[in-house]
Structure 1
Amino acid sequence: MTRILHTQQERTDLPLTVMPCVVDDMIEPFMQHFDMLRDVTRLRMYTDTTLDPQEIIRRCEGADAVIVIGVHITDELYEALTSHVKLFVFGGTGVASYIDLPRAERDGVGVCNVRHYGDAAVAEFAVALMMELSRHVGELNTQVRNGDWHGLFGTELNNKTLGILGFGGIGQTVARIAHGFGMNVRVWNSHVHADSLDGIELVDSMADLVAGSDIVSVHLPLTDETRGIITDDVLSKLRSGTMFINTARAEVIAHGALERRLMRGDILAGLDVFEEEPLPADSPLRTMPGVILTPHVAWRADGAYASMTEQIMRALVSFFEGGDYNRVV
C-alpha cells in the first residue's frame, strides 16, 4: 500500500514539492533531511516505485518542484508537468538521458542534479563486477548450495592492465582501488592532463587504450560529445578474454555495438546500465554466456544515499531562496 508522507502540510503559503515515487530503501535517508525544508517548501512524498506516466502526472498536480527518482521525463510528461512545475531535481548526475535539457533551458524550467554522491559506491560496484567475472563468487555460492564441490578456475587482477574510459570522480576512485590490487592503470580522457595523474599512464587514443587493456571500465558521463563515442571500431580492438565493464551510461556506446561485439563470444562483460531499462525480456544480452547483468544499482549504497538525499534537499532550498546550487539548467 502506498503511503504519502507530508511535511508542513498546513503551510499552504509555501510552494509545493512532490516526490511522485521513490526506491523503498531511500525513504529513511530522505526523512532524515526533512527539517532542511522547514519554512521553505512543503513536501508530498509517495512511497512506492510507480513509473506510470498518467499516475505521475496526477500525483504532481499543483507542484512547483518535482524530485525525480528513476523517472524519464518524456515529452508527454514534460508537457503535462511544466504547465506548473518550475524545477526538476534529479537523484543522479547524468540527467541528460532523463530530460531534454535544451528544451528546459529554452522554456526557463530549472533542472538540478546531484554530484559526486556515488563516486565510492559506483567505483566499488565496478570492481565487484570485475571480481565476479574473474573469481565467480556468486556462481561458486550457487554450486555449493546445490551440493557441487567442483569449483571454478579464476583469474587474478594483480598485474593486469586496467583501461579506464573517463576520469572524473568515479574513474579516479576506481584507479585508486585498482592500484591496491596491484593493477596497472591506463586512462583515456581528453579533459585530463598527464601532470594531474599519479602512477597512471595517460593514453591519447581510445582505441589504443582498449587494445592494450585486460579490463576496460567505462566511466564517461553522457553528453552530446560522448553519446555513441565508443564505436564498433573501438570495440573491435578488445582482445580475446578482455573484461568490459560499464557502470556509466549505455548510450555512450554506439547503438548495438556492444551486442555485436559480445556475439563473437570471446570477451566477458559486466553491465549495470542499458539503453532500455528495465532490460527487455527479449534482449540478446540475457542469454549471452560470460555476461553479468545487474539492474542499474551501482549507485544504491548507504553513503551514496546520504549524500544524494542531502544534495537534493539543498538544491530545493537554494532554488526557492533564489540560489543556483547544483543547477544544470
Structure 2
Amino acid sequence: MTEIYETQPERTDLPLVVMPAILDSMVEPLKAQLPVLKDVARVRLYLDFTEDADLIVERTAQADVMINGGPHLSDDLLHRLSGGVRGGEGGKVGCIVFSGTGVASYINLALARELGVRICNAVHYGDNAVAEHTFALLLELVRHVGELSSGVKAGVWANPLGDGLQLAGRRLGIIGLGGIGSTVARIARAFGMEVAAWRTSQTPAERFEESGATPVDDLNELIASSDVVSVHMPLIDGATRGLITADNLAHLKPGTLFINTARAEVIEPGALVARLQKGDIPAALDVYDHEPLPADDPLRSIPGIVLTPHVGWRTDGAFRELTRQMVACIAAYFAGEDLNVVVSER
C-alpha cells in the first residue's frame, strides 16, 4: 500500500492540495516547506511515483490544487482533473503547480487556459545545477574520465581514447543566454574559454556584459565559429519549439562539441540525430524527444556521444529552491495573488 504523508488532516474546512506522484528526492525538501501552508491548506502527498491516469484522477478527486511532480498530463487527463470530465469522472482542480520550469513539455497550456486552470512553474531554481551538469558533460567529452575510470578498474592502464582536449582558449557558443546560459558563461570564463552567445530580441543587452559573452546576431555564424556549442533555450510554444533547424546544425564544423541540457524540442525533429549520425560531432545530451529514451532510439547506437537521463536539474540545492517556490505558488493562489503564473485561470 502506498504511504501517504498529510498535514492538518483534521482541518476539513481548509482547501486540499494533493501531490499524486513524487520523486523520492523531493519528499524531504517539500516536507520542510509545508509549514508555510499552516492554516492555509491541508496537504496530502502520495509517496510513490505513477503515471497511471486513473490513479492520478482517483488521488486528486477532492483536490483544489494539484502538484505535478513529473507525470505528463494528457489532454484527456487534464479534462478529468479540472472537472471538464471527458473520458471519465472529473475532479475540481483549479490550479496545477508544476515541479520545474519547462511545463510546456508536460501540459497542454492552451487547453489549460480553455479549461480555466491556473498553471504555475518554478524559475531559476536549477540555474547552478544545470550549468554544473553542462560542464560535467563537457569535461567527459574532452577528458573521458568516466570511460578511463572503467578501464582502470578493468585492469587497463592505458588511454585508448587518445589525449584530452584543453578547454582554455577554446570558443564556447551559447544558444540561450538566460539564467542557466549566463551561469554557463561565467563558469566557462573561469576555465579560460572565449565565450559568445546568440543575441535575440528577448535577450537584454546588459546580460552579455554581466556574463562576459560576446553577442552574435547570426545563429549560423555563432555555430560555425564555435569549438563548443551549448543549448540553453527554454521551450516556448510558438517561439522556440523547433527553433534550431537542420540548416543551423549543418554549420557545425567537424569536431565541434555539442551539448544540450535544455529541451530536445527546441531542435527541429530529427535534425540532431541526422547530424550526429555523420559521426564527426562529439555530443553530450541530457534531454530527448521521448523520455525515457526508447531502447530502439538511434542516439543509443551513435559512437562518441554521452547520454544522461535528464538529471541535470537534480541537486540538493535545486530541490530546496524548487520546493520553496512550489509552496509559495500555492500560498499565493489561495491568497488571490499571482506568482510564477504561466497560465491564468482568469
Superposition TM-score, scaled by structure 2 size:
0.93
Q: Does 1:197 align with 2:208?
A: yes
Q: After TM superposition, give the deviation of residue 65 of structure 1 in Å.
A: 0.7
- The equivalent position to 1:107 in structure 2, one of 102, 115, 130, is 115
Q: Counterparts of 1:204 and 1:187 in 2: how far apart (Å)?
A: 9
1:184 aligns with 2:194: yes
The answer for the alignment partner of 2:175 in structure 1 is 165
Shift of 1:25: 1.3
Alignment partner of 2:342: what SS?
A: coil
Query: Aligned partner of 1:284: which letter?
Result: P
User: Which residue of structure 2 aligns with residue 136 of structure 1?
Assistant: 144
Deviates more, 1:35-44 or 1:50-59: 50-59
In the alignment, the residues of structure 1 paired with residue 331 and residue 110 of structure 2 have an alpha-carbon distance, to the nearest angstrom, of 24
Give the counterpart of 2:274 among 260, 274, 280: 260
Say whether 1:216 aligns with 2:229.
yes
Q: Distance in 1 between matches of 2:120 and 2:199?
A: 25
For residue 301 of structure 1, the aligned residue among 311, 315, 321 is: 315
Percent identity between matched residues is 53
Report the CA distance shift for 1:195/1:304 in structure 2 as closer, same or farther (over 3 A). Answer: closer
* Cα separation, 2, equivalents of 1:77 and 1:243: 40
Q: Judge conservation of contact 2:246–2:272 (CA < 8 Å) in 1.
A: yes
Tell me, in whole angstroms, the C-alpha distance in 1 between the residues paired with 2:307 and 2:235.
20
3-state SS of 2:132 partner: helix
Moved over 6 A (4+): none
Q: Which residue of 2 aligns with 1:47?
A: 47
Question: 2:172–2:196: 8 Å Cα contact kept in structure 1?
Answer: yes
Within-5 A mapping of 1:87-98: 87-98=95-106
Q: Which position in structure 2 is the counterpart of 1:249?
A: 263
Q: Which residue of 1 aligns with 2:87?
A: none
1:237 aligns to what SS in structure 2? coil
Q: Aligned match of 1:287 in 294, 301, 310? A: 301
- Match runs of 1:29-40 below 5 Å: 29-40=29-40
Q: Which residue of structure 2 aligns with residue 68 of structure 1?
A: 68
Secondary structure class of the residue paired with 2:234: coil
Corresponding residue SS for 1:328: strand
Cα separation, 1, equivalents of 2:231 and 2:222? 12
- For 2:158, the equivalent position in structure 1 comes to 150
Give unmatched runs, 5+ long, in structure 2: 84-91
In 2, Cα distance between the equivalents of 1:85 and 1:192?
A: 35
Q: Tell me what 2:331 maps to.
A: 317
Distance in 2 (CA, whole Å) between partners of 1:195 and 1:115 is: 20
Aligned residues of 2:29 and 2:323 also touching (Cα < 8 A): yes
> Using the alignment, how far apart are the partners of 1:229 and 1:196 within structure 2?
21
Extract unaligned runs of 5+ from structure 1.
none
Structure 2 counterpart SS, 1:164: strand
Between the aligned partners of 2:207 and 2:122, the Cα distance in structure 1 is 24
RMSD: 1.1
Deviation (angstroms), 1:67: 0.5
Shift of 1:94: 1.4
Deviation at 1:99, TM superposition (A): 1.0
Amino acid at match of 2:290: E
Deviation, 1:265, is: 0.3
Question: Tell me, what secondary structure is at the counterpart of 2:222?
Answer: helix
CA offset at residue 149 of structure 1? Answer: 0.7
CA offsets 1:119-143 (integer angstroms, 9 cap, x no match): 0000010111000001001101101
How many corresponding residue pairs? 329
Equivalents in 2 of 1:22, 1:47: separation in Å? 6
Q: CA deviation at 1:106?
A: 2.4
Q: Tell me the amino acid that sits aligned with residue 66 of structure 2.
A: V
The Cα shift of 1:48 comes to 1.2
Shift of 1:189: 3.3
Q: What is residue 121 of structure 1 aligned with on the other side? A: 129
What is the distance in 1 between the residues matched to 2:204 and 2:262?
A: 22
More displaced 10-residue stretch of structure 1: 41-50 or 175-184: 41-50
TM-superposed deviation, 1:195: 4.8
